[in-house]
Structure 1
Amino acid sequence: MAITDDSSSRSKQATGSKNSKGSAYNSAGYVQGPLKWAIALTASLGAILEVIDTSIVNVALTDIQATLGATVSEVGWVVSGYAIANVILIPLSAWLGDVFGKKNYFVFSMIGFTFASVVCGLSPNLPILIIARIVQGLFGGGLLAKAQAILFETFPPAEQGVAQSVFGVGVISGPAIGPTLGGFLTDNLGWEWIFFINLPIGLVAVAMSIFFLRPDPPKSQQTQQPVDWWGIGLLAIAVGSLQTVLEEGERDDWFESSFITTLAITGVVGLALFIWRELTIKAPAVQLRVLRHRSLAAGSVYSGILGMGLYGALFAVPLFTQSVLGFSATQTGWLLAPGALASAIVMVLLGKISGKVDARLLIGIGAVGSALVMFNLSKITPQTGTDDLFWPLIWRGAVTVLMFLPLSLATLGPLPKKDVSAGSGFYNLTRQLGGSIGIAILTTMLEQRQAFHSAVLLAKLTPYDLETQQRLNALTGVFQSRGSDATTAQQQAFASLKQLVSTQAAILSYADIFHFVGIVFLCSLVLLMFLGKGGAGAKAPMGH
């Protein structure tokens, strides 16, 4: 008992948690005063950098391909390599924080991320760029989950709504900010600057992390456990293989490819062995037992669905505007920017009331609202323009927040304080994987539905269809008036009609996937019965 009391005393002394006047920490170990907001800004800045870099590269791939002489499939690994490394590290972030110290690990991740960003911008060829992106993804995986865990350990339950809203502004608006910023930098300064921009921001974040984050306890108080190398290896194999399947499957025609089939089998077997390993050893690298908390299990599933809707919709809209409407990357970015601003505004407002309202009610309103927005977007036509997309995208940005912030509170708020770090890792992992799964599903659906609609529409292009004949005659007349002879004009008319059919098939396909995402949001309402009340009814986290 004497040893425990002495240890507790040293811990309080190290963290400054005594109730002395002017202390930065209260008796429960939470930060008080201006310092807690400095910590919130520091943690959020790291998370924002990581999230933006998941999407900022997408609009620059064409320029990178041209500069480095790469094929489309090769340059795709600039995105895939980052995503794969990211999801491997996220579930390990809690263990790494315990081993090296939460502050040390966050600062190290921030330094590594910033350094890797510079290497990306200086890359003379594609292999070095891909390797640098993988390294960047590994360090970035430690920023996202750890940032959210830091906030839960810094703020008392009553203030979690406001704290998580600060964090959520970057996470939820990042996927929209990325293409906007990436398009501007690529068009005006060159693709290298989408990486160089991280240097000044990263250096500021590193300095803030060193200065503001809570000091790690003395090394003697950190439990020394053997490293679970088998668990880490199985996790890398399982999650890496499955994420590669999601990233590359559509490009390789899914299970028609022996490469994708082998990876899928490897991923499933590796996942089964990983789960068995982590549940049967005393000191696992990933604490799967934390899923015994019902709020975390249900919230992580819901987080995956939110990831599908959040990233899936933001994947489909830029594709539609650029491939069908002919928008540039910068134009598409500016179209998405107001929605990101709406997310930030609603996030701040919601942070002030989320602790007083049942989280399940807010999540339900957000899910229904998101579904209605998707159904509205499914009404797109060949005449759809910026004005038709502006308000739906504004509303999408606003109502998605009603799911994101309350879900974080309902999922992680009820957890004991000692389980928050591991729980945050699972929660953020499922959102990232949900986004990858959503994009993989929507990409495949888009291709299949476009082939279906093309076949249906082309079947009507026969010499016996009156409407087709009238359209062909009208087009033939147009081309003849421009100087083409009768035979050439007829060929041009038929080619033009086929192009119109192709465009119409694409529009119908995008309408189908918007409708599908809306249905997914409505189906997610079933999971509400498994969630806690969040800020309105969650118990305060217990323990340290």
Structure 2
Amino acid sequence: MSETTEHHEDWKPSYNPWLIAIVVTLAAFMEILDTTIVNVALPHIAGSLSSSNNEATWALTSYLVANGIVLTISGWLGDLLGRKRYFLICIAMFTVCSFLCGIAQSLAQLIIFRLMQGFFGGGLQPNQQSIILDTFPPARRGAAFGVAAIAVVIAPIIGPTLGGYITDQATWRWIFFINIPVGIIATFFISVMVEDPPWEKNRRNRGIDYIGLGLIAIGLGSFQIMMDRGEDADWFNSGFIRVMALLAFVGISGAIGWLLIAKKPIVDLSVFKDKNFTGGCIMIGATGGILYAGAVIIPQLAQTVLMYTPTWAGLILSPGGVAVVLLIPLVGRLMTVMQTRYVIALGFTIMGFAFLYATTLVPNVDFKTLAFMRTFQSSALAFLFVPISTVAYMTLPRELNSDGSALFAMFRNVFGSVGISLATSQITQRSQVHQSYLSQWATPFHQPYQALVAQYEQSLRAMGHAGAGVHDTAVGHVYQVMRTQVAILAYTDVFFYCAVVAFTVVPFCFLLSAKIGGMRPGGGH
């Protein structure tokens, strides 16, 4: 072994690795929080900026489009600019763009600033993960990823709660302004504490792969637009969505083909030669899809069906965040005595049963039951994110960490968008199916229907109502009960589909390597 290589192997960060993990996670937490905190504020943004709710959702779409593209190419940008320099640029500009979003005076301004915010925010998650990979030796990465999990798992959970509270108590502009002090603190400490290791400093610039960059931008950008706007545009009945789907297919398939033959590709797909990394990407994709779907549809159920305020709808998710924080250290210890693939399989099994339990939902469900359902679901994430991340990078060559981190984060976010879109579209579709079925019984010739109408008429008369309008009011009440029942049935269907996805992934967990070098006895399994 050469002296240079030995020096590289002996390299250690100047500051405590745990402090470095905390400060880089702070930056990633801020960015991931912004993917969900805006959701509950969209109606307020629309009203404030004199636009429709449909138009206001472009503030979310623009962010996701830019974010998804940059996530994939962040490894190349880190090589081009230097990882630490690129990370600092991303944090500083994300903070500036947050301020610009907060002072936007029109929807067009907000969309442009959100696009910029997504562009700079896209580099934060992969850089956070690659810095942690280089800062900690393989045997300690599992514990370090426990810190990273706070950003990835907790931020989407508390985002709706925090967004709802801020919107109710102040104004939607503060959901952007709160990033400013966090961004300033993170920029300062990262500039002082984080350093590029020798192998990062000596990495050769890959140049600019214009073809790969263009295909990735077209493919992922069009895909994100299709998934985010598909439900509002009636999916493939819309010419716009069909064009986006075509561009997504051409862009993504073209990018894969080009990156496989290019001499200096913008993203090195050789990372997928590592079986554990490939399996980890698939599993983190499934986890992201279910995580984001649940984080969106449960507050949606609370607000649209149960008439909760944004704050109370968000609070349903909060106990789940606490459960994850408490369980992650226990899972870390479990990984030292149980094969990691078994821990992951256990996590997906718990998640499957949690969503099966959620199919017992009823129209008069109370807050405690809803919060418990979501806590049960969230607790499974503690058994998934850290073990999956540990397995994915354990056998990946060090020089591929940057590209691996970028693609790993891309899988989680892209499948998260897919999960949200499929869940919301299925709620609409299944509502139509259940309404069609139930409406055939809402006729004067169906005795239980007549009995229910008569019961409401009797109650109305007892409250002092009289006249011919009593019957019409009673029928209206019955119709509202039916609409609520239809919605509840649709949500239970989606919960069942999530359970099926979770259980389907379980067998694939056992395809991961049984023994992985570099971990303590027991944890290497």
> Fold match, TM over 0.5?
yes
How do residues 146-165 of structure 1 correspond to structure 2 at under 5 angstroms? Answer: 146-165=127-146
SS at 2:10's partner residue? coil
Deviation at 1:484, TM superposition (A): 4.1
On the 8 A contact 2:11/2:197 being kept in 1, the answer is no
User: C-alpha displacement at 1:426, in angstroms?
Assistant: 1.1
Q: Give the aligned partner of residue 252 of structure 2.
A: 271
Change (3 A) 1:312 1:538: farther
**1:527 Cα offset (Å):** 1.7
The one-letter code of the counterpart of 1:422 is D
Quick one: which of 428, 441, 451 aligns to 2:409? 428
Distance 1:30 1:295, change over 3 A: farther
- Report if aligned partners of 1:476, 1:486 keep a CA contact under 8 Å in 2: no
Contact 2:39 2:160 in 1 (8 A): yes
Deviates more, 1:343-352 or 1:165-174: 343-352
Shift of 1:538: 3.5
Distance 1:249 1:99 in 2: 35
Corresponding residue for residue 31 of structure 1? 13
Mapped to 2, the partners of 1:220 and 1:94 lie a distance apart of 14
Match of 1:23 in 2: none
Aligned-partner residue type, residue 435 of structure 1:
G
Distance of 1:148 and 1:225 partners within structure 2: 21
In the TM superposition, what is the alpha-carbon distance from 1:220 to its structure 2 partner? 8.5
Q: Is the 8 A contact 1:83 1:137 kept in 2?
A: yes
Determine the structure 2 residue equivalent to 1:144: 125
Match of 1:365 in 2: 346
Distance 1:219 1:183, change over 3 A: closer
CA distance in 2, matches of 1:97, 1:501: 55
- 2:446 aligns to what? 465
Give the 5 Å matches for 1:151-300. Answer: 151-215=132-196, 221-300=202-281
Superposed, 1:318-337 pairs within 5 Å as 318-337=299-318
The 2-side partners of 1:375 and 1:538 are apart by 36
CA distance in 2, matches of 1:85, 1:435: 15
> Is 2:432 the counterpart of 1:451?
yes
| Helix, strand or coil at the partner of 1:530 | coil
Q: Tell me how far apart the structure 2 counterparts of residues 413 and 220 of structure 1 sit (CA, whole Å).
A: 22
Q: CA deviation at 1:28?
A: 3.4
**Which whole-Å CA distance do the structure 1 matches of 2:507 and 2:332 have between them?**
25
- Is structure 2 residue 282 aligned with structure 1 residue 301? yes
Q: Which residue in the other structure is 2:420 paired with?
A: 439
Secondary structure of the residue aligned to 1:357 is: coil
Q: Residue in 2 aligned with 1:115?
A: 96
Shifted more, 146-155 versus 220-229: the winner is 220-229
Deviation of the 1:355 alpha carbon: 4.3
> Which residue of structure 2 aligns with residue 501 of structure 1?
482
Give the Cα–Cα distance (whole angstroms) in 2 for the partners of residues 381 and 72 of structure 1. 29
After superposition, the CA RMSD in angstroms is 1.9
Native 8 Å contact 2:82 2:201 kept in 1: no
- Unaligned runs of 5+ residues in structure 2 are 520-525
Deviation track 1:451-479 (CA, whole Å, cap 9, x = no partner) reads: 11111111111111111111111212223
Alignment equivalent of 2:31, drawn from 32, 46, 50? 50
Indicate the larger mover: 477-486 or 126-135: 477-486
Please state if 1:531 is matched with 2:498: no
**1:439 Cα offset (Å):** 1.1
Contact 2:134–2:197 under 8 Å retained in 1: no
The alpha carbon displacement at 1:215 in A equals 4.0
**1:263 aligned partner, one-letter code:** M
- Separation in 1 of the partners of 2:180 and 2:199? 31
Matched letter for residue 423 of structure 2: L
CA contact (8 A) 2:79 2:205 kept: no
In structure 2, how many angstroms separate the alpha carbons of the residues matched to 1:310 and 1:224?
36
Q: Which amino acid aligns with 2:218?
A: I
How far apart in 2 are the matches of 1:299 and 1:219? 24
1:20 is aligned to none
1:407 and 2:362 matched? no
The residue identity in structure 1 corresponding to 2:52 is T
The question of 1:351 aligning with 2:332 is answered yes
